[in-house]
Amino acid sequence: MIKATLLIVDKNRNDQETLRLMLQDEVDQIISLTNPDRIFETLEKNDVDIVLLEMNFKAEINSGNEGLYWMKEISQYDNTISVIMITSTSDLELAVKAIRDGAADFILKPWDNNKLLAAIHMAWKLRLSRQETLILKKDNQYLKKEINKVSDKFVQGASPTMIKVINMVRKVAATDASVLITGESGTGKELVAREIHNQSKRSGELMVSVDVGSITESLFESELFGHVKGAFTDARDDRTGKFEMAHKGTLFLDEIGNLSLQSQAKLLSILQNRYVVRVGSNKHIPVDIRLICATNCDLIQLVMEGKFREDLLYRINTILIEVPPLRDRVDDIPILANYFLRVQSERYGKDAMKMNTHALEKLANHDWPGNVRELQHSIEKAVIMSESAVLKPSDFVFASSTRSALHTEFTLEEMEKKMIIEALKRHHDNLSIAAGKLGITRQTLYNKIRKYGLR
């Protein structure tokens, strides 16, 4: 016996009784109806697994349309219920139509008992399979929502530079255009990427983030494209690559400027062909992804130096969004500081903490070389260490900065030297970016570096 509830819908009471006697030892419960209008009432009161459904209920009408109609109605009510169609009309075209429309099987009267029993058992397995698939689908949707949840929130701010970024995010999110996000470390490039994803039509799917700068050359293909079992020494199982994981969603490649030329060529090939081939396989796997990349490097300079492919730059740089450093969005510091204060107070189980005016002034006057990430960590440290409910300037201790140094007496040359040192440090010795931020040409910066003996 299978623990299934069977609903028989047949206008012929004799056929109903015959089916009941035959199947009473095969299924857990049997319900019978002569009128299909009572199907939904019965489904609402009982957890029906299988329906034996007559295809013709009106006299002298053998088209089967009634049965097909009710089968579709049952499917709309619960598409995991298995429906077996029963008819006295030997019409192959009708049988094909029923199966095509979703019937589990098609049985002709007078039925063969063994075939009917086999159909019942197959329909039960189909019901279980459909239920399992539905559960997996719901679990997958839940998993996607959980994965797409992040502890860090995109705090928009109110400064003109961030309003410009926010407007660009809104415009580009509605498209599938590739986006390149630039900016210093700690400015929140990944949060901008996630905001684009969340506002896009792909928001119900995954956003897969990859720090390509941390992937070794030997593992690049395996990580991004996947591999099959036995492809190399440690490939003990098949592995899905990041491109496949991001299918129908968004793929975020961080630190794209750190890719080797060899890896750049492989990446470009995938972006052009829109399919991946797992390492050790010949099978083409189509991928549909929205690509967002980020870097703190000057990719144009890297192209000029032969370290980055120009064709790849064009491929990833349909839309360019530059995230400003925190020192260029001072108006946002109080907004961000108070947000992080609320988050960290809650995280460490402290009553709602506040920050006095002088503390906010100190934060506004700091250079923030580590940008928003540094501000976040500074607030967290202050919340942990403070014994007061109100944070004061003394709760924040920073290394000397260029802006605070302006209040100390220096000669012009000393100040210029210090500013150059700070700019080079902040931009990881990238002369082009540092020169741009200092408002001078790259050659002028190079001359001053030689003048002050900084190289």
Residue 182 bridge partners (DSSP): 295, 322
Cβ atoms within 10 Å of 271's Cβ, excluding its own: 18
Burial of residue 430 (CB within 10 Å: 0-12, 13-18, 19+) is: buried
> pTM (2 decimals)?
0.62
Q: Given this model, what pLDDT does residue 404 score?
A: 45
Q: Given this model, what pLDDT does residue 58 score?
A: 66
Q: Given this model, what pLDDT does residue 60 score?
A: 57
Contact 101, 109 (CB under 8 A): no
Helix (H) / strand (E) containing 399: none
Contact 27, 127 (CB under 8 A): no
- Walk along the chain (455 residues) and give the pLDDT tens digit of each residue: 788 999 999 888 888 899 999 999 889 899 999 888 899 999 998 989 999 998 877 655 566 688 888 999 999 999 899 999 888 776 667 778 888 888 898 888 888 899 999 999 999 999 999 888 887 777 677 666 656 655 567 888 889 999 999 999 999 999 999 999 999 999 999 999 999 999 999 998 889 999 988 888 888 989 999 998 888 877 777 888 999 999 999 999 999 999 999 999 999 999 999 999 999 988 899 999 999 999 999 999 999 999 999 999 999 999 999 999 999 999 999 999 999 999 999 989 988 899 999 999 999 999 999 999 999 999 999 999 988 999 999 999 886 544 444 444 557 777 888 888 888 887 778 888 888 778 788 888 888 888 887 87
Long-range contacts of 365-369 (CB under 8 A, 24+ apart): 365/403, 365/404, 366/396, 366/398, 366/401, 366/403, 366/404, 367/327, 367/401, 367/402, 367/403, 367/404, 367/422, 368/325, 368/326, 368/327, 369/401, 369/422, 369/425, 369/426
Q: Where are the beta strands (DSSP E) in 273-401?
A: 275-276, 285-286, 290-295, 319-322, 354-355, 390-391
What is the rounded CA–CA span in Å between residue 408 and residue 70? 86
Which of 145, 17, 141, 36 has the alpha carbon at shortest distance from 83?
Answer: 36
Contact 275, 225 (CB under 8 A): no
Residues 327, 331, 335, 341, Cα dihedral to 10°? 40
Write out the DSSP string of 157-222: --SHHHHHHHHHHHHHHTS---EEEE--TTS-HHHHHHHHHHTSTTTTS-EEEEEGGGS-GGGHHH
Q: Given this model, what pLDDT does residue 218 score?
A: 82
Which of 211, 243, 252 has the alpha carbon at shortest distance from 225?
Answer: 243
Q: Given this model, what pLDDT does residue 313 score?
A: 96
β-strand 105-108 against 319-322: which pairing, if any?
unpaired
